[in-house]
Structure formats: C-alpha cells, structure tokens
Amino acid sequence: MEKSELILKELQLLNRRVNEFDSNMVTKRDLESVATKKDLENMVTKQDFEQLSKKLDAVASQVAHNPEQEVILRDVSQKVKDHETDIRLIKRMMTNK
C-alpha cells in the first residue's frame, strides 16, 4: 500500500470520527430548550473537571509524601533524644572530674 493511500485512509477515518463526534454534540439551543439560563450557568464544564483533577493530583502527591516525611521526623526525633542523652553524659563526666 502506498504512502498516499495510507494517508487517505487515515483522513477518511478521522473524518468519520469527527462526523460522529459532531452528530453527538449538543448545541446551546438544545440545552436552552431543556434547561434554564441559571441551570446552564451552574453546569460543570470541562475546565472545572480539569481543575478538580489537578487538585486531586496535588492532594494525592501530598498524601504519598506524608509517610516519607513522617519517617524522617521520627529519625530526627530519635537523633535529638540521643544527643540529649550524650549531652547529659558529657556534663556528668565533666562534673565528676
């Protein structure tokens, strides 16, 4: 099959898909006949979904990051306790000399 035939087939497929998509589209006039202006203003848009998706991704990232931070904090907390113990021992050693 030649390159031009492949391109033609792809274009025909794309054209069919666009026509199917176009035939399934709801127009503003269609919506106005079944919904009030206020209903249309309150409808969720694709942009709203995209914003919500971004926020959910950010929350998921933070939630995944929290256990990692908790482990680090526990480690630092243990080091602080160890250092406090070391300081007490050093003070005792110095006062006993």
Per-residue pLDDT tens over the stretch 30-54: 766 777 777 767 777 778 778 888 8
Question: What pLDDT is attached to residue 76?
Answer: 94
Residues 87 and 97 in one domain: yes
Q: CB within 8 A of 35, min separation 6: which ones?
A: 43
> Is-contact 31 40, C-beta < 8 A?
yes
Which domain, by its residues, includes 31? 1-43
Residues 59 and 30 in one domain: no
How would you class 23 by CB atoms within 10 Å of its CB: exposed for 0-12, middle for 13-18, buried for 19 or more?
A: exposed
32 lies in the same domain as 5:
yes
In the structure encoding, which two tokens stand for residue 41, read together?
A: 């203003």
- Output the pLDDT for position 56: 86
pLDDT tens by residue, 66-94: 888 888 999 999 999 999 999 999 999 99
Residue range 8-30, pLDDT digits in tens:
778 888 877 877 776 767 776 77
Asked if 53 and 79 sit in the same domain, the reply is yes
The H or E element that residue 77 is part of is helix 46-96
16/35 same-domain check: yes
Residue 55 and residue 85 in one domain = yes
DSSP state of 26: P
Q: Tell me how many domains the chain contains.
A: 2
